Structure 1
Amino acid sequence: MKQFLSFLLAAIAGGLIALGGVSLLDNESDISSSDIPVQQVSYINKAPIPGGNMIDFTKAAQMANPVVVHITATAGKANASNNSKSDDPFRFFFGEEQPMSGSGSGVIYTADGYIVTNSHVVEFADDLEVILYDNRQFKAKVIGINKKTDLAIIKIEANDLPTLEFADSDKAQVGEWTLAVGNPFDLMSTVTAGIISAKGRSLRLLKDRDAIESFIQTDAAVNPGNSGGALIDANGRLLGINTAIASQTGVFQGYSFAIPINLVKRIADDIIEYGSYKRAFLGVNIYPLDSETAQSLGIKISQGVVIDRIEDNGSAQYAGLYPKDVIVKVDEKEIRGVPDLAEAIGLSKVGDVIDVTINRKGQTLTIPVKMRPEPDN
């Protein structure tokens, strides 16, 4: 029987863990407490890396631990009910008016108390408590949420907090070592290691046609409670925000996914300044190029994104893009598929002029596109 992986979010107030689908994964704290099952493992003598150099993660871990916080989020009766009505199979037994509590992680974004986390960690919360690495506790308030990227900014009243240098996630390479830092199962300040397995992954997690998904995939162990925690590189720089795992059981089984820091910065800075993400709008319906489509279009390229339809009053319409144009590059970023284009446009700002390189009937053209605001904005 064919089995499917589920892509799971470590949520504050989720519901059913469904194999073969997209679902939220609880890390609820109002369930009766029990010991986490622990097994002893034997010592493994790891072979040295060719060339005789072992990678030392101790400095990176020491830099990251003080920057990652524990978040406890409590939803009042109304929010708990709203979050559970549609997907909670146990509401028949327990009713729909129970407060819900859960936990996740966050990363200190600025020294004056702004913290970045996942929107699914805090979106239903009426009360937020943040515990720092030094065990100081603060009440927090939500500054802004963007569900289309699963990012949120919360704020505590504190100063002189530690922060991390930002990596350039565009320059991260498959095969690079990374560390995931967070609070899985309420195990504070847990650090795991793995390599970047892939970039530009789209999992259709966010259930929105305009969602921006271009995840960094790693094999660093991530579990419930890690959501909103840090993915850092071997130099201790912030590379991404951990968001999801691929699992058949609800716990880590090999792959985890993080939002790249370049996108995080773009959205976080907007939320801090304006209270929301001011998204630029290209205004196209697209699909990935495949060999059959390339043949039907009479073009000799194998990667790109095909414009299916141009939306009215979008940036693409005003710039002179047309259906059947194949987008292959935005500025200097190669566009291999839909996630690459979604991230590139997501990084742009309203008023920016970006160079969109297309293949039109076999001819390569570069068209300047002035980015217009999303219609709702």
Structure 2
Amino acid sequence: MSNFRVFSTRCVTFLRNTCNISSSTTFRRFLSQKSYTYHNQESQSRLTKLLTQICGGCIACGLSMYCLKDRKFITNKFIVNALEPSDDNIPRMPYSFLADIVEMAQPAVVYIEVKIRNPYGHGVVKSHGSGFIVRDDGLVLTNAHVISRQSVVDVKLQDGRVVKGQVQAVDSVTDLATVKISEKNLPVLKLGKSSASRPGEFVLAMGSPLTLNNSVTHGIISTVNRGSRELGMEVRDMEYIQTDAVITKGNSGGPLVNMKGEAIGINTLNVMAGISFAIPSDRAAEFLRKAEELEKRAAKKGWFGMGSKAVTTKQNRYIGITMFTLSPEFLSDLQSRAPNFPQHITSGVLVPTVIHGSPAHRAGIQPGDVIVKINDKDIKSSAEVYKILETSDTLIVQVYRQNQKFQLTITPDTID
């Protein structure tokens, strides 16, 4: 403390001497040479106030330096003690709230692996995605496109166990599915109310992108009710949550979590950097209620559940892609953001997702392709693709991949 007293004493002495100078003849002559005109009393008062403020600032700086030195943040030689052990008693709560949310939600998130026979009948081709446990008796919610029309999948839990899962209910319209595993007392992630969410709220997208378990990305909600028709999905009459949190292929089926640790969405697809979509939890809750009713009725008749065929919606032709209509505004945005995006096209349909092992995948369609023509007909919306799909057994598809043009042949499958 003695160093600080010496410093303070010197500051006070400097202030007193400076004030005495202001009354001297030499100082008044200096002021007159600078063409300033002051009355002696007024000039002395103003100068005293100014120098008092300067000296006060010096004292504050000296006090700060002393306090920092005492806390060992800085030494006399301004050397930072970066290698000293950190104080674990200092609370990190204000800075780690996202980690706390992850800690709450992550135990219920699972990794789903799908084994599919390749087109030539030998070997297995692995596909993967995410899901999360919604019932402690082993009911897992995921995307329909993740399970890829299979009846049995492998489910990896957070504790490392890998168990067989039976696909139960599948709704290709909402792109939701449930998988049942034979485990009890499992951690559950609660479904929140997506209708209560607001644009600007923080969210976390959780899942297993590129088979990397326990991956988390964060962002905000951009829009809570992006209509499917705005996205060119004429067949699906529903709304999506739009977020700038990164949702990749492996994140599909995983939860979009709010700051209360609740799942308010099911990660579905990513269009480009900053534009991703999730199925609202309110729609998922409705699907789960219907699936539970089907399960109860089917259990009495013996055709639903373990060892049975998955429940699907109406019969339909299937090629295994998701599509976005390239409206003029959307197309312009993509062309300005992505240099490799085809710059000369004026319409078409973007393919953000291709299901592994599907007819489109076998034909060579890749995520990011733009469909511009099918069977010699120009394509301007996804509705036109669905319409052609209803009546054609073979699709001759012209696509642009970056700036290259390809012609591919797709033979649709029929699903019951």
TM-score of the aligned structures, taking structure 2 as reference length: 0.46
Q: Which residue of 1 aligns with 2:103?
A: 62
Q: What's the offset of the Cα at 1:212?
A: 3.5
Structure 2 distance, partners of 1:246, 1:278, is: 26
Residues 226-375 of structure 1 aligned to structure 2 (within 5 Å): 226-247=251-272, 253-275=273-295
Residue type of the partner of 2:105? A
Residue type of the partner of 2:287? I
Structure 2 distance, partners of 1:100, 1:76, is: 6
| Cα contact 1:149–1:206 (8 A) shared by 2 | no
Q: What's the offset of the Cα at 1:221?
A: 1.4
Identity %: 34
Structure 2 distance, partners of 1:148, 1:205, is: 16
Q: What's the offset of the Cα at 1:109?
A: 1.0
Q: What's the offset of the Cα at 1:273?
A: 2.6
Q: Which residue of 1 aligns with 2:194?
A: 169
Q: Which residue of 2 aligns with 1:336?
A: none
- The verdict on how the C-alpha distance between 1:97 and 1:200 changes in structure 2, with shifts beyond 3 A counting, is farther
Q: Which residue of 2 aligns with 1:154?
A: 179
Structure 2 distance, partners of 1:172, 1:274, is: 30
Structure of higher CA gyration radius: 2
Residues 82-93 of structure 1 aligned to structure 2 (within 5 Å): none
Q: Secondary structure of 2:250's partner?
A: coil
- The verdict on how the C-alpha distance between 1:130 and 1:54 changes in structure 2, with shifts beyond 3 A counting, is same
1:300-331 CA-to-partner distances (Å, cap 9, x unmatched) read xxxxxxxxxxxxxxxxxxxxxxxxxxxxxxxx
Structure 2 distance, partners of 1:126, 1:75, is: 11
Structure 1 distance, partners of 2:212, 2:313, is: 36
| Cα contact 2:108–2:189 (8 A) shared by 1 | yes
Structure 2 distance, partners of 1:119, 1:235, is: 26
Structure 2 distance, partners of 1:120, 1:181, is: 17
Structure 2 distance, partners of 1:65, 1:181, is: 8
Q: What's the offset of the Cα at 1:155?
A: 0.3
Residue type of the partner of 1:74? K
Q: Which residue of 2 aligns with 1:222?
A: 247
Q: Which residue of 1 aligns with 2:153?
A: 128
Q: What's the offset of the Cα at 1:256?
A: 1.2
- The verdict on how the C-alpha distance between 1:125 and 1:75 changes in structure 2, with shifts beyond 3 A counting, is farther
1:105 aligns with 2:125: no
Residue type of the partner of 1:255? I
Aligned residues: CA RMSD: 2.7
Structure 2 distance, partners of 1:73, 1:206, is: 28
Q: Secondary structure of 1:60's partner?
A: helix
Q: Which residue of 2 aligns with 1:199?
A: 224
| Cα contact 2:229–2:237 (8 A) shared by 1 | no
Q: What's the offset of the Cα at 1:240?
A: 0.8
Structure 1 distance, partners of 2:156, 2:190, is: 21
| Cα contact 1:141–1:155 (8 A) shared by 2 | yes
1:58-91 CA-to-partner distances (Å, cap 9, x unmatched) read 22100111111000001235xxx4xxxxxxxxxx
Q: What's the offset of the Cα at 1:127?
A: 3.6
Structure 1 distance, partners of 2:95, 2:279, is: 28
Which structure has more RCO (C-alpha within 8 Å, separation ≥ 6)? Answer: 1
Residue type of the partner of 2:184? N
| Cα contact 2:152–2:167 (8 A) shared by 1 | no
Aligned residue pair count = 207
Q: Which residue of 1 aligns with 2:33?
A: none
Q: Which residue of 2 aligns with 1:345?
A: none
| Cα contact 1:75–1:124 (8 A) shared by 2 | no
| Cα contact 1:76–1:125 (8 A) shared by 2 | no
Q: Secondary structure of 1:152's partner?
A: strand
Residue type of the partner of 2:134? Y
- The verdict on how the C-alpha distance between 1:266 and 1:165 changes in structure 2, with shifts beyond 3 A counting, is same
Q: Which residue of 1 aligns with 2:115?
A: 74
| Cα contact 1:148–1:208 (8 A) shared by 2 | no
- The verdict on how the C-alpha distance between 1:200 and 1:165 changes in structure 2, with shifts beyond 3 A counting, is same
- The verdict on how the C-alpha distance between 1:221 and 1:162 changes in structure 2, with shifts beyond 3 A counting, is same
More helix by share: 2
1:2-26 CA-to-partner distances (Å, cap 9, x unmatched) read xxxxxxxxxxxxxxxxxxxxxxxxx
TM-score of the aligned structures, taking structure 1 as reference length: 0.51
Structure 2 distance, partners of 1:63, 1:180, is: 14
Q: Which residue of 2 aligns with 1:318?
A: none
Q: What's the offset of the Cα at 1:162?
A: 0.6
Structure 1 distance, partners of 2:274, 2:313, is: 35
Structure 2 distance, partners of 1:130, 1:278, is: 24
- The verdict on how the C-alpha distance between 1:202 and 1:100 changes in structure 2, with shifts beyond 3 A counting, is farther
More strand by share: 1
Q: Secondary structure of 1:240's partner?
A: strand
| Cα contact 1:195–1:218 (8 A) shared by 2 | yes
Q: Secondary structure of 1:225's partner?
A: helix
Structure 2 distance, partners of 1:245, 1:257, is: 6
